[in-house]
Amino acid sequence: MESGGIALPGSTAYPALVSVAQTGARRERAAGGLTLARLPSILLRLEGAAVFGASIALYIHLDFSALAFVLLALAPDLSMLGWLAGPRVGAATYDAVHTEVLPIVIATLGVLTGASVLTEVGLIWLAHIGFDRMIGAGLKYPTRFNDTHLDRV
């Protein structure tokens, strides 16, 4: 429903306004300039770089195994197998594994309990997520694999 010319979510005008905004953002990206429309994506990528760098620094500082890091660094991407069951399941499994909540909880439990393997796994997992965000691989929408909260990959 609209009130005073303002489109509210759920109104028939709202999808059109979103489409216009998305088209404008695409046009700005195509122009290649740094614009306010791109700033959130840039900030999220920088945040990913910070998470990646901090995770690696802590991992090295704690003298954890380089071999374990190499072997486990891509393990979270096994969640992409969910896409074999369709985009809805694929997005749900991928997003569940690619949010920072679980690795932070696991690493924190490792620190608090002295279980270094939990800290190690949590830091590897966080490094993976940070790297993904840094390169623009965000959480997935159940439309297409390339549709992410960071925009199109």
pLDDT digit string, tens, across residues 124-134: 999 999 999 99
| Residue 10 · residue 1 · CB < 8 Å | yes
Q: Are residues 97 and 22 in the same domain?
A: no
Q: Are residues 8 and 76 in the same domain?
A: no
> Which residue range forms the structural domain that includes residue 22?
1-37
Q: Are residues 87 and 17 in the same domain?
A: no
Q: Are residues 46 and 30 in the same domain?
A: no
Q: Are residues 6 and 42 in the same domain?
A: no
pTM metric for this prediction: 0.74
Q: Are residues 45 and 109 in the same domain?
A: yes
Give the whole-angstrom CA distance, residue 80 versus residue 88.
12
pLDDT digit string, tens, across residues 20-75: 445 555 655 555 566 777 888 889 999 999 999 999 999 999 999 999 999 999 99
